[in-house]
Structure 1
Amino acid sequence: MNISDNNRKLFQSMSVLYVEDDKELALEVTDILSTLFKSVDTCSNGQDGLIQYTTQLYDIVITDINMPKMDGLSMSQEIRHINPNQHIIVISAYEDTAYFLKCLELGIDGFITKPFVLDTVLETFIKVSHSIEDKNELLALKKNLDKKDEDNISTVKNSTAFKSLLRTQETMSLILLNIDNFSNINSAYGEDYADSVLEEISKNLVTLNIKDIEIYKLESDEYALVNRKNLDTETAIETANFLVSFFNETEIESDEDIDLFVSFSIGINIGKGIALLNRARMAIKELREHTRGTYKVYDMKSNYMRKQQDNVYWVRKIQESIADDAIVAFFQPIVNNHTQKIEKYECLARIYDDGDYISPFHFMDAAKETRQISMITKSMIKQSCKMFSGTEYEFSLNITNDDLQMEYLEDYLLRNCERYSINPNRIVLELLEDISTLEKGSILKQLASLREKGFKLAIDDFGSESSNFSRLLEFDADYLKIDGAFIKNIVTDVKSQMITEGIVFIAHKLGIKVIAEFIHSQEVQDKMVALGIDYSQGYFHGAPSKELI
């Protein structure tokens, strides 16, 4: 295919991020891309690609699907969280309908299959490039027409102007304002009123006339205040404090008879490029872990950021473990307090890392954030059914909100029961406290159906957060596991004893058997027997192990 001069000129104005794990193919394609586009950056996996994406702005992202550490579709999804308007082209040898559907769901701009047909590749590049050009022309037209919208205040620039500023890679001070609970204003009073609130906020920011500050209205409920002359953090903090005080005392005026005050969560960062914006947003996320209506300076050494960095590590480790079938099942015995014999085991996931087996405490948050919980649960179901095939023990599996939301459990459990000759009544599903059954009728239906098939249900961590007495009204449980907070000091803490006695009394009245965790000494075990608790679990009876006792 011949490339017209206009298309060649268009290509030469655009920057590309290319992500491909096949080194030989990456070199070949990079050579082609470099002759077409203004600049091309290359990465060998989705994780590195996502990190590179945060360092600057790209017109087009081109990615393979199947890659180590993070696949192309997961990377594309994360990129879309950062920039919903990013143009993405997927290249893959896969022709599975599921991949096409996922690409459609993500709004992928182009899909190229391997092996390449050059004309098809060029057609895709031309189509996407013209789409970018059309969008830019439309934005320019809107700006020239000076239409009245929330961005149309003479001294408030829009998000396009802000992205252009970031593209210059100039170092600057950013004060990012995010309106607290703006969605509530939208829901309660409607979009027209919410738009008038944004316009009034813009007018107030302009009226303040803060020295050296440029104001940009970003998407939705964000404002960027940029200082390119003074890069001092203390100056940014002073400005943030002033804004907090001002809006705390300033009523938002409108034609509606509504008394409204707004507050902001504010992120502060000094830097350049897209990383400047992303880090300010991270500061706001960290702030909102604890409070709102104030500011937070981005600090890469904070506990929150260290946790995020740990999560990145564990996301990669989980993906590697799943790919290598290296999620390891451990089993902890549960003793019948009446017979003093082991009757059950709890199945616990571990990941092997640097010579040690790591508990879910370290990687569960990362698994939840990246929706990989179900892959871990499936691995545990398969390994546990295989381990207990040919035995008479009951065994319990931890089930999360994500597992039930994805609605795969019943079918997957039944298939493994059939494969390993396991009667469903030997499997106990421990419902973790993150399951919001009161809000999800579909989850209650699943639990009822699982119980009809013979699976038993246990309420885990009873007494903590949402795992409380309301659960006893929602569904019929077979077991109730008392949260360890009530057990660890029960020998000396009278309150723990009284609460535990109450739980045991109510559970037994309802025909529910009680399991106590964290049994760490003979004294605690004797107390469990005295309180009439049916089963005990803890290191006193046995640590989690890859083998059954």
Structure 2
Amino acid sequence: MSPKFWEILLVDDNTKLHELIKNNLNGILINKKKVKILHAYNAAEAKELIGKNSDIAIAFIDIAMQAPDAGLELVNYIRNTLYNTSMRIIIIDSESLPVPASDIIEHYDINDYKDQRCIESQKLFTTIRTAIKQYQQFKDLKDKKDQIYKKMTTNEITSLPNRMKLTENIDTVGGKSLILINIDDFSLINNYNGFEFGDDVLRVFADFLVYNYAKFAEIYHLEADIFALFCLRTDTRTQEQSISIIKENISHHEFSVNGIKIHLTASLGAVLNEYGNVIQKAEFALKEARLYGKNNARKYSDDLQIVRTIHSNSIWTGRIRKAIAHNKILAYFQPIQNLKTGKIEKYETLVRLEYDKKIYSPFHFLDAALYSGQMFKIFKIMLSEACKKAQTTSYIFGVNISEYDLKHPKFVQTIHEIMKQYSVTPNRIVFEILENNSIARNKNIQDVLNVLHEDGFKLAIDDFGADCSNFAQLNNLPINFIKIDGQFIKNIVKDRNSQITAKTILDYAHQKEIPVVAEFVCSKEVYDYVKEMGVDFVQGYEIAEPKPILLD
């Protein structure tokens, strides 16, 4: 609002009324501010004045003027074309009304209706004072609303518009181009230098983006260490070149943060001239870029690996739910032979899914089960099926457990309920833990495994040696068996590296007095080789493939 004047617009073709009101309001103060009259003698002049003065508090509008409904059309222009809802509009009665006064009050967005005698009298001051008070209250509320909106749509660290603002701005017709920029290893900056320094890095990085790219893109700070460039140009070829240039510009730039020189790299995901779900598609491209390590960039296409994975997960998620509901999650059992006695002593319980009369291995649906939160349901089915077999045989049964199962709040309780249901003692079950760094480091998971061991269950580390080997697990967990990952067993006869890895695991385990199982024993040659090495148990197609029934 103007700090000096209350601007009042008078729209009337009666020149005498203009002069009268000008004289009546000359020098008056309302809330310590003078009144400034803007004079318009027709609707066209009024529109011009409104365009030049954005802070008009009150508009007195005569209905008729040159045309019978000129004033009403002006009201519609203010409210519905300019979307100005703060201006107080007071209609001046005319002798030749095009519509009844009651209809005007009901159907037009006006704030008051006065006849000309009231406008010409001393009551005018009261009318203006009341309208200005309403205008001031309305503006105050609007200002607060604008402040809240700005806070909601602005990143508080960099003052750049945030994800909410991007979502709002990108929701328009036509193809869109968007580049997401994720600072690599930003968590390390926070961990080693503190969050205040990390915030300063974000501000410096934001300044870099604005300085270099604001000419062709709107800059956003979506959250944490992720920024966005919403491209204003539509030249796809130029944008493809820009992606690589932006990535190189970031990696070659020396950032100065509080006098400290640092270098940053970033991963980029881009969508170029795409229609619909633009932000999600850019996020898919960014995730794909990060799969290939730091300082990488990918452009979205329907053929991205992550898109294919998500599509596959979506399909299999429904199939898994249907399979659980219709008892089509099946247990297959693969025997484990004791090499010293030559006898089958154990079976591993393996999950299969039946769909359209075809049996599928976990390779097809396990990721979808993780993605959709159905792993624990599958675990319960497998443990129940293992217990059913244990009821009628003397074998020990292995059941796979994942990190997600171990984190379930009712994991231990559910196990005991199932064991009680089938009257099976804990020493008949081996829980096979997929080797994972998070298990070795997670104190809560270690505590759960210790509870299971104390309750009498046996524990095995499955696929030992794969991906993230951690011999410390053998010190931190009460392990009863180690299963060497099949990738080191299937080619062990000819592959020297596999021989060294398997021998190292075997020697270490035996020093800890832990029996070792060799998985993926697929031929007589492999069988003989691992037996000669001193492996305790073997499992694989040379013994038997997984089947829904046990060997006779």
TM-score w.r.t. structure 2 length? 0.69
Task: Identify the residue that residue 357 of structure 1 maps to in structure 2.
Answer: 359
1:203 to 204, 207, 215: 207
Query: 2: CA distance between counterparts of 1:353 and 1:519?
Result: 29
Give the Å deviation of 1:323.
2.8
CA contact (8 A) 2:432 2:459 kept: yes
Query: 2: CA distance between counterparts of 1:212 and 1:329?
Result: 58
Identify if the C-alpha distance between structure 1 residues 223 and 273 changes in structure 2 by more than 3 Å, giving closer, same or farther: farther
CA contact (8 A) 1:241 1:294 kept: no
Aligned positions of 1:517-532 closer than 5 A? 517-532=519-534
Task: Identify the residue that residue 240 of structure 1 maps to in structure 2.
Answer: 243
Counterpart check, 1:510 vs 2:512 = yes
Q: Which amino acid aligns with 1:431?
A: I
2:229 to 225, 233, 242: 225
Task: Identify the residue that residue 87 of structure 2 maps to in structure 1.
Answer: none
Query: 1: CA distance between counterparts of 2:152 and 2:429?
Result: 67
Identify if the C-alpha distance between structure 1 residues 227 and 501 changes in structure 2 by more than 3 Å, giving closer, same or farther: closer
Please give the per-residue CA displacement for 1:2-50, whole angstroms capped at 9, x wherever unaligned.
xxxxxxxxxxxxxxxxxxxxxxxxxxxxxxxxxxxxxxxxxxxxxxxxx
Task: Identify the residue that residue 313 of structure 1 maps to in structure 2.
Answer: 315
Aligned positions of 1:395-474 closer than 5 A? 395-434=397-436, 436-474=438-476
Segment of structure 1 superposing worse, 354-363 or 272-281: 272-281
Give the Å deviation of 1:149.
4.9
Please give the per-residue CA displacement for 1:464-505, whole angstroms capped at 9, x wherever unaligned.
233442221112221111111221122223443344334333
Task: Identify the residue that residue 86 of structure 2 maps to in structure 1.
Answer: none
Query: 1: CA distance between counterparts of 2:151 and 2:506?
Result: 72
Segment of structure 1 superposing worse, 462-471 or 139-148: 139-148
Q: Partner of 2:404: helix, strand, or coil?
A: helix
Counterpart check, 1:194 vs 2:171 = no
Q: Which amino acid aligns with 2:460?
A: A
Give the Å deviation of 1:430.
0.8
Q: Partner of 1:331: helix, strand, or coil?
A: strand
Task: Identify the residue that residue 187 of structure 2 maps to in structure 1.
Answer: 183
Identify if the C-alpha distance between structure 1 residues 358 and 161 changes in structure 2 by more than 3 Å, giving closer, same or farther: same
Give the Å deviation of 1:173.
1.5
Please give the per-residue CA displacement for 1:401-456, whole angstroms capped at 9, x wherever unaligned.
11111243332222222221212111111111136333222222222221121111
Identify if the C-alpha distance between structure 1 residues 500 and 224 changes in structure 2 by more than 3 Å, giving closer, same or farther: closer
Task: Identify the residue that residue 34 of structure 1 maps to in structure 2.
Answer: none
Query: 1: CA distance between counterparts of 2:153 and 2:515?
Result: 70
Q: Partner of 1:214: helix, strand, or coil?
A: strand
Counterpart check, 1:485 vs 2:487 = yes
Identify if the C-alpha distance between structure 1 residues 137 and 275 changes in structure 2 by more than 3 Å, giving closer, same or farther: farther
Identify if the C-alpha distance between structure 1 residues 290 and 352 changes in structure 2 by more than 3 Å, giving closer, same or farther: same
Identify if the C-alpha distance between structure 1 residues 283 and 142 changes in structure 2 by more than 3 Å, giving closer, same or farther: same
Aligned positions of 1:109-128 closer than 5 A? none
Task: Identify the residue that residue 28 of structure 1 maps to in structure 2.
Answer: none
Task: Identify the residue that residue 385 of structure 1 maps to in structure 2.
Answer: 387
Query: 2: CA distance between counterparts of 1:214 and 1:312?
Result: 33
CA contact (8 A) 2:234 2:273 kept: no
Query: 2: CA distance between counterparts of 1:503 and 1:136?
Result: 69
Task: Identify the residue that residue 73 of structure 1 maps to in structure 2.
Answer: none
Query: 1: CA distance between counterparts of 2:477 and 2:152?
Result: 60
Identify if the C-alpha distance between structure 1 residues 183 and 505 changes in structure 2 by more than 3 Å, giving closer, same or farther: closer
Q: Partner of 1:398: helix, strand, or coil?
A: strand
Query: 1: CA distance between counterparts of 2:514 and 2:197?
Result: 52
Identify if the C-alpha distance between structure 1 residues 428 and 316 changes in structure 2 by more than 3 Å, giving closer, same or farther: same
Query: 2: CA distance between counterparts of 1:325 and 1:396?
Result: 21
Q: Partner of 1:395: helix, strand, or coil?
A: strand
CA contact (8 A) 1:179 1:262 kept: yes
Q: Partner of 2:238: helix, strand, or coil?
A: helix
Counterpart check, 1:285 vs 2:287 = yes
Give the Å deviation of 1:312.
1.6
Identify if the C-alpha distance between structure 1 residues 399 and 149 changes in structure 2 by more than 3 Å, giving closer, same or farther: closer
Give the Å deviation of 1:144.
10
Query: 2: CA distance between counterparts of 1:429 and 1:148?
Result: 47
Give the Å deviation of 1:542.
1.0
Please give the per-residue CA displacement for 1:291-314, whole angstroms capped at 9, x wherever unaligned.
222321012113332122112212
TM-score w.r.t. structure 1 length? 0.69
Task: Identify the residue that residue 334 of structure 2 maps to in structure 1.
Answer: 332
Task: Identify the residue that residue 25 of structure 2 maps to in structure 1.
Answer: none
Q: Partner of 1:177: helix, strand, or coil?
A: strand
Identify if the C-alpha distance between structure 1 residues 483 and 139 changes in structure 2 by more than 3 Å, giving closer, same or farther: farther
CA contact (8 A) 2:153 2:163 kept: no
Identify if the C-alpha distance between structure 1 residues 372 and 547 changes in structure 2 by more than 3 Å, giving closer, same or farther: same
Query: 2: CA distance between counterparts of 1:414 and 1:466?
Result: 31
Query: 2: CA distance between counterparts of 1:501 and 1:149?
Result: 56
Task: Identify the residue that residue 498 of structure 2 maps to in structure 1.
Answer: 496
CA contact (8 A) 1:270 1:276 kept: no
Task: Identify the residue that residue 169 of structure 1 maps to in structure 2.
Answer: 173
Q: Which amino acid aligns with 2:416?
A: L
Q: Which amino acid aligns with 1:213?
A: A
Give the Å deviation of 1:150.
4.5
Q: Partner of 2:294: helix, strand, or coil?
A: coil
CA contact (8 A) 1:482 1:515 kept: yes
CA contact (8 A) 2:155 2:222 kept: no
Query: 2: CA distance between counterparts of 1:220 and 1:168?
Result: 26
Identify if the C-alpha distance between structure 1 residues 528 and 187 changes in structure 2 by more than 3 Å, giving closer, same or farther: closer
Provide the aligned length of Structure 1 versus Structure 2. Answer: 411
CA contact (8 A) 2:323 2:355 kept: no
Give the Å deviation of 1:192.
4.0
Relative CO higher for 1 or 2, CA cutoff 8 Å, sep ≥ 6?
A: 1
Give the Å deviation of 1:147.
9.6
Q: Partner of 1:396: helix, strand, or coil?
A: strand
Segment of structure 1 superposing worse, 470-479 or 192-201: 192-201
Identify if the C-alpha distance between structure 1 residues 392 and 189 changes in structure 2 by more than 3 Å, giving closer, same or farther: same
Identify if the C-alpha distance between structure 1 residues 545 and 168 changes in structure 2 by more than 3 Å, giving closer, same or farther: same
Query: 2: CA distance between counterparts of 1:388 and 1:359?
Result: 23
Q: Partner of 1:178: helix, strand, or coil?
A: strand
Q: Which amino acid aligns with 2:247?
A: V
Give the Å deviation of 1:211.
4.8
Give the Å deviation of 1:253.
3.0
Query: 2: CA distance between counterparts of 1:147 and 1:528?
Result: 63
CA contact (8 A) 1:166 1:272 kept: no
Alignment RMSD: 2.8
Query: 2: CA distance between counterparts of 1:162 and 1:202?
Result: 16
Query: 2: CA distance between counterparts of 1:330 and 1:146?
Result: 54
Query: 2: CA distance between counterparts of 1:472 and 1:250?
Result: 46
Query: Which structure's CA Rg is the greater one?
Result: 2
Q: Partner of 1:461: helix, strand, or coil?
A: strand
CA contact (8 A) 2:153 2:162 kept: no
Q: Partner of 2:263: helix, strand, or coil?
A: coil
CA contact (8 A) 1:400 1:434 kept: no
Q: Which amino acid aligns with 1:309?
A: H
CA contact (8 A) 1:266 1:296 kept: yes
Give the fraction of aligned pairs with identical amino acids, expressed as a percent: 36
Q: Partner of 1:445: helix, strand, or coil?
A: helix
